Amino acid sequence: MKKCVLVSGGAGFIGSHVTVELIEAGYDVIVADNMSNCDMTCFEGVKKITGRDDIPFVEMDFCDAKTTEELFSKNAIDAVIHFAGFKAVGESVEEPLKYYKNNLESFINVIASSKEHGCGNILFSSSATVYGEPKKLPVTEEAPRQPATSPYGNTKQMCEDILRDSVRAYSGLKGIALRYFNPIGAHPSALIGELPRGVPNNLVPFLTQTAIGKRECLSIFGDDYPTPDGTCQRDFIDIVDLAKAHVFAVRRMLEGQMKKVYEIFNIGTGTPLSVMQLVKGFEKANGLKLNYKIGPRRDGDVTAIWADPTLANNELGWKAERKIEDTLASAWAWEKHLAGE
C-alpha cells in the first residue's frame, strides 16, 4: 500500500519541487493550496515532469478549520508537509496581524486535524531566520534561536514551538522541522521554478529578471560588510537538493527511524557564498553580463550565515549534491521558459 503525503501550499516554489520528488520516490501526494501567492503554472509543470495527470489538487484555505478537517476525514493521509503560509519579510513588518493569523492558524488547524484523524507525521518547513545573526559559524541545530527580526521570522519560531509542544502532549504524533537556508534555482526540466508576484524579494529571481530585461538593474545591498568581498554571505542551496531532503525526512517518520518525537535538521550546503560571488557565478554559468549597482545596506540583513549540515547528512542520509553553476543555469533556463524563449 502506497503511503499518502499531503503537501499544504504545494503549488508554490518549494512545494511543487517537493511534490515532484515525493511522486518520483513512490508516494501518493495530495496538493492543497489557496493560490493566494501563486498560480497553476508550477502545478501544471509538476504534472508534465512526473507524467501524472491525476495528482489530486484541492483549492482551500488551511485557516478554515472545517475545510481542513474535511480534507483529513475524506483522505487517508499518512504524513503532512506544511508549507502554506505568507512569506514576505517586509510585508510582515507592515502587516503583522495578517501574518500571525494566517501562519499560526493554518498550522494549528493542520496539527489538530492530524491528531484527530490518525495522521501521526508532521513535517514543518522552517527557516534559518530563526538563528538571527549567529554568534558562531557554521550554524548547528544546537545554536540558540535569536529574537526574530520580523513577524514572518517570528511565525517560523512560534510554529516550531507549537509543533514541539503538540507532539510532546499528544501521543501518536511525531514532528520534524527542516530549517532551510537559501533555496535557489529551478528544476532541471525548466518546467517549475520560483515565480514571484510583483517585485521579487529574493536575490535569484531579481537577478534572472534583470538578465532577461524585466528589471533595469540589480541592487546589491551593501559592500562594506566584514566579509572577504564586503557583500553578505549566505548558504545557497539548490531547490532540488532541498526538495529531496523532505523525502528523506518523510521516510524517517514513516519507517519509525526517529530518535525523538520532535527533531530539527539544518538543510544547507555548508558552504558560504557571497552575494557578489553568486552574481559573478551567474554571469559565468550563463555567459551573460548583468547590470548591477551597489546600494546601501538593507535593514534586517544578517552579515553571514551558513549551515553545518552534518546532522542531516548523518541522520537523514541526505546531502546537497548539485553544483552552484548547474543551479544558476537552471534558474536562467526557467526564466527563459517563462518568457517563451
Catalytic residue chosen out of the listed positions 27, 99, 131, 152 = 152
**Count of other CB atoms within 10 angstroms of residue 270:** 19
The bridge status of strand 233-234 relative to strand 273-274 is antiparallel
100-107 contact pairs (CB < 8 A, 24+): 100/151, 100/154, 100/155, 101/63, 102/63, 103/152, 103/155, 103/159, 104/155, 104/158, 104/159, 104/162, 105/62, 105/63, 106/8, 106/61, 106/62, 106/63, 106/82, 107/62, 107/82, 107/159, 107/162, 107/163
DSSP string, 43-76: HHHHHHHHT-S---EEE--TT-HHHHHHHHHHS-
Q: How far apart are CA 287 and CA 184, in angstroms?
A: 19
**Catalytic residue status for 152:** yes
Q: How far apart are CA 96 and CA 13, in angstroms?
A: 23
In one-letter notation, the amino acid at residue 177 is: A
For residue 232, give the 3-state DSSP assignment: coil
CA distances for 311 relative to 176, 263, 266, 267, 334, angstroms: 13, 11, 8, 9, 32
Matching residue, cell 526540466: 189
Cell of 339: 518568457
**Count of other CB atoms within 10 angstroms of residue 226:** 7
For residue 285, give the 3-state DSSP assignment: helix
Cell of 307: 549551515
Q: How far apart are CA 245 and CA 22, in angstroms?
A: 10
Residues serving a catalytic function are 152
